[in-house]
Structure 1
Amino acid sequence: MTAVPQVAGQELESPPSDGISNLRFSNHSDHLLVSSWDKSVRLYDASANLLRGEFMHGGPVLDCCFHDDSSGFSASADNTVRRLVFNYGREDILGRHDAPVRCIEYSYATGQVITGSWDKTLKCWDPRGANGPDRSLVGTYTQPERVYSLSLVGNRLVVATAGRHVNVYDLRNMSQPEQRRESSLKYQTRCVRCYPNGTGYALSSVEGRVAMEFFDVSEAGQAKKYAFKCHRKSEAGRDIVYPVNAIAFHPIHALALQILLNSYGTFATGVVMVMSMCGMETTRKDLLKYPTSVAALSFSRDGRLLAVASSYTYEEGDKPHEPDGIFVRSVNEVEVKPKPKAYPNPTT
């Protein structure tokens, strides 16, 4: 194994003062949106290392997403869903849940904002509707348990909840899930991310495992799925396991490549999994060291940059830990491009 280098990437100035819940790159620029338990949403220019705006909420902010470079949305523990207008520093309440709002996504396919809450519901909002709480509500959909993670690809929405439930929806017909599944992992789900080519999704758990799932329910389709262990440390003969908090797919080489970073950056690695349609080959490209837990990840729209939230996620309980930070790392194409003779073109 190669030696661990120093922290990979430039640290952004003016980070949040409490835990970082998520970060997202814009689909149109190198702007980065960051949500935090300090009740803020921050907008950065990641390339210039510049804080461009800050929005304060009534409670911890658990998720955020972009609409475009002029506006975005946030999900708060104060039960509100908010629209953020960057140029004017303004925020509007789009609507509310009955409990903290854990997840938020914007669907470019339908023009809707989708939220998942600990009130065991999924809600869809039309941000083009009349201003004011709940006036933009399109529909409410009961879930089997608290919503932990959402992911979109095209018209497909994957909802991961407590109790290891996974519901797959078609956004064009939300009357009921097109698939109801149970996670193939034995422990609590931390993150779900759809494959950019639309064929399935990756699911991670608190027990340091990742499952690669496929939407095709045929015998041949389900034969492709698999799961693997990652982010473990052996100490005095004991296997110490850390949760996988974040999954990010490279936007250019996404079909053939996924990058998974462990949740506890002080000892472990950035693991690169090179994946073809018929199997998986694992190689360690490099080791990425961060001051504390890796809580969230996001690639820039062109895959040149990887943003990493280093923020302790309490997997070892309440203890002293390093301050939170946001690191932006340049991604070399050599690190992420699969061997052309071994793997198919990811755009096919």
Structure 2
Amino acid sequence: MTPQIRHKLEYHKGSVNTAIFDASGSYIFTGGQDKTIRLINSTTGDQIQTFLGHGWGIQGLAVSKDSNSLVSCGGTDRAVYLWDVSQVQLTRKLSSHTQRVDCVAISDNGSIIVSGSFDKTVRVWDTRSSNSPQALLQVLDESKDGISSLALTQTEIIASSIDGHVRTYDMRTGRVLVESFGGQPVVCARVVSGGKCMLVSSMDGSIQLVDRTDGKAMAAFSGHTCQNYRIQCDASDSLVASGSEDGFVYVWDILRDNESGSATYRLGGHSGIVNTVEFHPSAKADNPKGHAMLSAASDGSVVIWE
């Protein structure tokens, strides 16, 4: 059944650069070029709160598993912001990057923040430290170009880079495993299928589903346009989805489209570049009711699909 638009939200003025579900799927956080973060009820589509404090457009968001801590980055201000969600209050501003910060991640309990920057570094922060200088635990500087996306597991940091590599760092030993993806700039890497696989999107318009045990590609998908922008993708238990520069959301059935690589659905709901997509958490838990997802675009809109 073709996904349908449940809500089309237009709370932002200007591009919506990032949008995420919280762990429960009940709420959505969106970040825009208008320097605001919006908290939205995913069922009703109603806006609940607006977070103000960034001096530049929001580039990345991440939320702790209990939804108490939100972390954001605002690009050119070179800082990482930590928010108390219930109080709608900025609690920390972490400054150490020398260029714009494009992506962030946070541990389940909110104690560790990871940030990735155009300065080619990944920085690891301890939120339990009482002051910002001491909060910086580690600088990972193996990348030869800007960091495009970040993901965390219980023991790993996964960082994709415009240099064409995805680096997986072991948090305990510091060991790094480097995987190359044909030399093309990697714009997004997400850990999916309960940690068994990695979804990797590159700036040649290709998406690969990779087995994390041996690094081999299990499937490849194409059809969307990704040539100039950091287009984000995601996967549920059975589907892969990506934004696209042509204004559509592309959705592939992992089993059905395994050989052809052609999209099952090409969804129109935006009139600008679709910057990001994300599946509802229940879709990733193999819930038969959980095929909802969101998409956010440069036209200022967020669409909730079902």
TM-score by length of 2: 0.84
Name which of 260, 264, 277 aligns with 1:297: 277
What value does the CA root-mean-square deviation take over the aligned residues?
A: 2.9
Residues 86 and 169 (structure 1 numbering): CA distance in 2 closer, same or farther, change over 3 Å? same
Distance in structure 2 (CA, Å) of the matches to 1:109 and 1:172: 17
1:306 matched to 2:293? The reply is yes
Q: Give the corresponding residue for 2:35.
A: 39
Matched residues, number: 292
What secondary structure sits across from 2:119 in the alignment?
A: coil
Contact 2:224/2:246, CA 8 A, preserved across alignment: no
Q: Give the corresponding residue for 1:141.
A: 140
Gaps in structure 2 of 5+ consecutive residues: 284-289
Q: Give the corresponding residue for 1:212.
A: 209
Q: Give the corresponding residue for 2:242.
A: 261
What secondary structure sits across from 2:163 in the alignment?
A: helix
Residues 17 and 205 (structure 1 numbering): CA distance in 2 closer, same or farther, change over 3 Å? same
1:162-220 deviation per Cα after TM superposition (whole angstroms, max 9, x unaligned)? 2212211122222x31x122223x4322211112332331211222111232333xxxx
TM-score by length of 1: 0.75
Gaps in structure 1 of 5+ consecutive residues: 233-239, 312-322, 331-348
Residues 109 and 198 (structure 1 numbering): CA distance in 2 closer, same or farther, change over 3 Å? farther
Contact 1:148/1:191, CA 8 A, preserved across alignment: yes
Name which of 296, 302, 306 aligns with 1:326: 302
Q: Give the corresponding residue for 2:112.
A: 112
Identity %: 18
Q: Give the corresponding residue for 2:71.
A: 73
1:329 alignment partner AA = W
1:5-38 deviation per Cα after TM superposition (whole angstroms, max 9, x unaligned)? 9x73311242x21222211100024111111222
1:248 matched to 2:231? The reply is no
Please give the residue correspondences for 1:106-185 in structure 2 after superposition, counting only pairs within 5 Å.
Answer: 106-108=106-108, 111-130=111-130, 132-144=131-143, 145-174=145-174, 176-177=175-176, 179-184=177-182
Residues 244 and 90 (structure 1 numbering): CA distance in 2 closer, same or farther, change over 3 Å? closer
Distance in structure 1 (CA, Å) of the matches to 2:168 and 2:110: 16
| Structure whose alpha-carbon radius of gyration is higher | 1
1:261 alignment partner AA = S
1:117-142 deviation per Cα after TM superposition (whole angstroms, max 9, x unaligned)? 11221111122221x43332222221
What secondary structure sits across from 1:287 in the alignment?
A: strand
1:276-323 deviation per Cα after TM superposition (whole angstroms, max 9, x unaligned)? 9xx657575443102222111122222332111022xxxxxxxxxxx3
Contact 2:253/2:264, CA 8 A, preserved across alignment: no
Distance in structure 1 (CA, Å) of the matches to 2:43 and 2:181: 38
Residues 86 and 222 (structure 1 numbering): CA distance in 2 closer, same or farther, change over 3 Å? closer
Moved over 6 A (4+): 240-244
Distance in structure 2 (CA, Å) of the matches to 1:269 and 1:110: 31
